[in-house]
Amino acid sequence: MAGVSLVVLRSVVAVTLIVETHRAYTLGWAHALDALAALVGLFLFLGLLTPHCSALCCLLELTFLVGNGFSNGFQLGMAALTAASMVALGPGAYSLDARLFGRKLIKIPPGRNS
C-alpha cells in the first residue's frame, strides 16, 4: 500500500509544479519554464530520477515564492515542502527508478541488550 501512496504523492508534486509554473508568467521565460515543468513533471510521474527532479521542483517552487512577491506564499511553501519530502522518501516500488536501479530497502538491525 505504501507504493501506491508514493505514486499519488509523485503525481501531486508533478501536477502542482505544472500548475504553479503556468501561473508564474510574471517571471518571464514562460515557454522555457513550461517546457522544464512538463519534463520534470513527466519524470516525476514516471518515477525517473525522482530525488533529482524533486529537488529541482522544490527549488522552482521556492523561486516562484520569492519571485511572485509572496502573493500565494502558503500554497507555494507547502508545495516546496511536499517536493522536499519526495527527495527524502524516494520513488517507491512502482517507478522506473525501482526497475532500473532496484528497490532500496533499509534494514534496521535489532538492538543490543546491554
Task: Tell me the mean pLDDT per 10 residues along the chain, length 114.
Answer: 80 90 69 88 92 93 79 84 90 85 75 64
Predicted confidence at residue 108, as pLDDT, reads: 77
d(CA 84, CA 13): 10
d(CA 30, CA 72): 19
Every domain of the chain and the residues it spans: 7-101
Predicted confidence at residue 5, as pLDDT, reads: 84
Task: Give CA separation, 109 vs 58, 105, 113, 114, in Å.
Answer: 33, 12, 12, 15
Predicted confidence at residue 3, as pLDDT, reads: 66
Predicted confidence at residue 1, as pLDDT, reads: 61
Predicted confidence at residue 25, as pLDDT, reads: 66
Q: What is the pTM of this model?
A: 0.79
